[in-house]
Chain A
Amino acid sequence: MTRESLLDVEDLSVVFRQRGRADVRAVDGVSFSVSPGETIGLVGESGCGKSVTSLAIMGLLPKRGVRVEGRITFDGTELPALPADKLRLLRGRDLAIVFQDPMTSLNPVVPIGTQVTEVLTRHRGLGNGEAREEAADLLRRVGIPDPSRRLREYPHQLSGGMRQRALIATALACRPRLLIADEPTTALDVTIQAQILELLKTLVAESGTALILITHDLGVVAGMCDTVHVMYAGRIVERAPRHELFADPRHPYTGGLLASVPRLDQPRGARLEPIEGSPRDTIPWTSGCAFAPRCPNRIEECTPVAPDLLGDRHGLRCVNPLRSDRPETKAVPR
C-alpha cells in the first residue's frame, strides 16, 4: 500500500492552543494513505476533526496558535517541512480542495472567469486568452451551460449548484493529483447533490486523481469510496474497505451512524435510531475510549485505557465491538 501511495498521513495531530485555556487536540494521531485513482472517505460527526485534517494536508491552518505534529508525505515530499512559496506552487496545481459552502467560497466582487483563470495563469503559465478558453472548456465539462456568459458573471448571479460546479472546475483546472472534497454537497439540494457526486466520480475515474471525500453522510460514502475511515473525537475508530464496512460494521459508533441513515426499505413511520448524546459527551482519549459515554456496548474495559487501532485490512479501535453478523446492515444505503 505504502509503496504506491500518493499521500501518506502518519500519526497526524493538530493541537489548537489558546491563551488561558487547555489545548484542544482536534486531530489525534491519524494515519491513512491514498493511492492514485483511489477514493477514500473520512466520515464522522461535526467536530470530529475531519475538516481540520484536510486543512492540515493543504497547509491552510493558521500559523499561530496551532501545532501540527506527525508526517504528511505527498509523492515523497514532506508537506509541512516545505517552505511557504514551494507549497504555494503545489497548492492549486497538484493538491486541490473543494470546500463545503459554495455560497461563501467564491469571491463576491470578482467575475467567475477570473476566479477560474487565475489558477491557470498561475500554475500552467497560460496567457489570458488561452486561460479563458480553457476556463470555458472546464465549465462546460462540469456541466455549466453557456460557459462564456457565465465567465463574465459574478457569483451572486449563479445558483448554489452552479457555484459548486465552478469551484470544482477551478479545483480540477490543473488536473490535480490529489483532490480533497470537504463536504462538497452538504450545502446543496438533494437533486444537485447527486449530480455533483456523479460529476466528481467521473472526473476522478477519467483523470486518475486520488480523492479524499470528507463527509458525515454515509449515503455519499456508499456510492463513492473504496476505503472508509470513520473518525470520532479526532481519532480514526474504524477503517475498512467500503463493502466490508457497510456489511460488517464493528465499531458501535459506525453501527450507530449506519442505523441513523434513513432508508427506503424500512416501513413508513419506522423510527430512525439516533446515536445517544452529542459529540460534546466525550471523554478525553487519555482517560479511555472517547465514545464510551454514548456507547451502547460499553463495558468496564472501555476506561481508563483507550484501545488501540488494531487490524490491518479492517482496522478497529474497540474492546467490545459489535458482533460481526448483523443481518440488517447488509443492504447498502444509498
Chain B
Amino acid sequence: MLRFVVRRLALLVPILVGLSILLFLWVRALPGGPAEALLGERATPEAVARVKRLYGLDRPWYEQYLTWVGNVFRGDLGVSSRTQHPVLEELLRTFPATVELALTAMIFAVGVGVPLGYFAARRHGTWLDHLSVAGSLFGITIPVFFLGYMLKFVFAEKLGILPTDGRQDPLMDAEHPTGFYVLDGLVTGNPEAAWDALTHLVLPGVALGTIPLAIVVRITRASVLDVLHEDYVRTAEAKGLRPATIRGRHVLRNALLPVVTIIGLQVGLLLGGAVLTETVFAFPGFGKFMADSIMARDYAVLQGFILFTAVIFVLVNLLVDIAYGLIDPRVRTA
C-alpha cells in the first residue's frame, strides 16, 4: 500500500511539469494581458509597455517560466496584478471557503443520495423509484443559479430562517486563524460563530450539491439493482441474516464501489471552485476569485490556482483509490 501511494505521488511530478508549461502558454494565449486589463481600453502603447516591463512580461515566455518555477520552489507564487496581494495569501483565503462549501455539498449529496438510491432500487418499479429517477433528472437539468435564487427566495427572504449570502454575519465578532470558519468558531471557543458559519453554508451547499446528489442517486440505484441480483445476496438471505446485515455488509458494500469513484470525481470538481454558486451567494471562494482573475488576465493567480487545483485533484483521486482498496480486496492484491 505504501509503495502504491509513493508511486502515485511520484507521478505528480511529470503531471505538474507538463501542466505548468501548458498552463503558462495558455494564459498568455488569452487575448489581451494583465497590462491592458489594468490600464483599461484607452491606455497608450507606451504605458502598456512600461507596465509589461515592470512585471517582466516583455521577456520571452521560457525565461518567464523558469523565473516563475524558481519562485514557486521558494514558496513564492507571485503577486496578483489585480489585488496586489501575494497569490499564496489569496489562495489561503479563498481555498478554505471552497473546501467548506464543497464538503457541505458532498455531505448533502452522499447523505441524501445513497439512501435514496438504495431505497429506489429496493422498491424498483414503484412510485418511489420513479419519483427518484425523475427527481434526479430534474436535479441534473435545473440551472444552479436558478436553484440558488429560488432557495434564497424561499428560505432566506420568505421564511427568513437562513442567511442570504456571505460566510459569516459581518456584525459577528469572530476570529479566523485557520480560514475554515466553522472550525475557527470551534477552536476559538466561539460556538455561536461556528453555528453562524454553518447556517451560511446550508443554502449554497444544497444548491451546489444538487447535481452531485442527482448523480449519486442514479449511480447508487443502478449499482444496488445490479448487486441485488447477485448470487451472494441470495446466499445471505438463505442464511437468515438480519435485514440490516444484508443491507450493509452484502449489498451496500459491493454497491458502493462505483459510487466511491463518482464521489471522488465530484469532490475534485467541486474543489476547483463553483463560480455560479459562489456568485449567487456572494460566497468569497476559490471559483469566484479565479473567474474574476480570468477577466483581469491575472497570470500569476491563474497559474498558481490552476496548478494547485491539479495537485488537489490528483490527491483526491489517490484517496479514492486507497478507499477502493479498503473496500475491495481484489483491487488490493492486483
Contacts and interface: CB of A to CB of B under 8 A. Distances in A.
A45 B16 CA distance: 62
A93 B240 contact: yes
Contacts of B333: 156-157
A92 B238 contact: yes
Given A92-B240, A96-B238, A118-B241, A108 B231 contact: no
A96 B240 CA distance: 9
Interface in A86-108: 87-93, 96-97, 99, 101, 104-108
A110 interface: yes
Interface in B288-334: 327-330, 333
Nearest to A167: B235
A90 B237 CA distance: 11
Contacts of B190: none
B176 interface: no
Give the most central of B239, B250, B328: most A CB within 10 Å.
B239
Contacts of B236: 107
Given A107-B249, A108-B328, A110-B253, A88 B241 contact: yes
Contact of A88 (B240, B249, B253): B240
Contacts of B234: 60, 99, 105
A90 B239 CA distance: 9
Contacts of A101: 231
A122 B238 contact: no
Interface in B209-252: 230-232, 234-243, 245, 249-250
B241 A122 contact: yes
A118 B245 contact: yes
B223 to A, nearest CB: 13
A123 B239 CA distance: 9
A109 B239 contact: no
Interface residues of A, number: 32
Given A122-B245, A170-B239, 17 more contacts: A88-B240, A88-B241, A88-B243, A99-B231, A104-B231, A108-B329, A110-B253, A118-B239, A118-B249, A119-B240, A119-B241, A122-B241, A122-B242, A123-B240, A154-B330, A156-B330, A170-B235
B199 interface: no
Given A107-B254, A156-B330, A122 B235 contact: no
Contacts of A64: 125
A60 B238 contact: yes
Contact of A91 (B238, B253, B254, B328): B238
Interface string A150-174: 0000101100000000010010000
A122 B232 contact: no
A145 to B, nearest CB: 21
A114 interface: yes
Nearest to B236: A107
Interface in B231-286: 231-232, 234-243, 245, 249-250, 253-254
Contacts of B243: 88
A108 to B, nearest CB: 6
A218 interface: no
Contacts of A109: 253-254, 327-330
Contact of B241 (A92, A97, A154, A156): A92
Contacts of A104: 230-232
A58 interface: yes
> SS class of chain B's interface: helix, strand, loop or mixed?
helix
B271 to A, nearest CB: 28
A108 B330 contact: yes
A60 B228 CA distance: 13
Given A104-B230, A106-B235, A114 B240 contact: no
B240 A90 contact: yes
A87 B241 CA distance: 10
B230 to A, nearest CB: 7
B138 to A, nearest CB: 27
Contact of A156 (B242, B327, B329): B329
A109 B125 CA distance: 28
A105 B240 contact: no
Nearest to B232: A107
Contacts of A111: 329
A284 to B, nearest CB: 28
Nearest to B125: A64
Q: Which 10 A-B pairs have the closest CB atoms?
A: A91-B240, A92-B240, A92-B239, A104-B231, A154-B329, A107-B232, A88-B240, A105-B231, A105-B235, A97-B238
B238 A106 contact: no
B237 A119 contact: no
Given A104-B231, A105-B232, A156-B329, A110 B250 contact: yes
A280 B249 CA distance: 40
A104 B226 CA distance: 13
B242 to A, nearest CB: 7
Contacts of B249: 107, 110, 114, 118
Contacts of A90: 240
A57 to B, nearest CB: 11
B179 to A, nearest CB: 38
Contacts of A91: 237-240
Interface in B84-139: 125
A81 to B, nearest CB: 17
B232 A108 contact: yes
Contact of B232 (A93, A106, A118, A123): A106
B66 to A, nearest CB: 49
A223 to B, nearest CB: 25
B194 to A, nearest CB: 38
Nearest to B254: A109
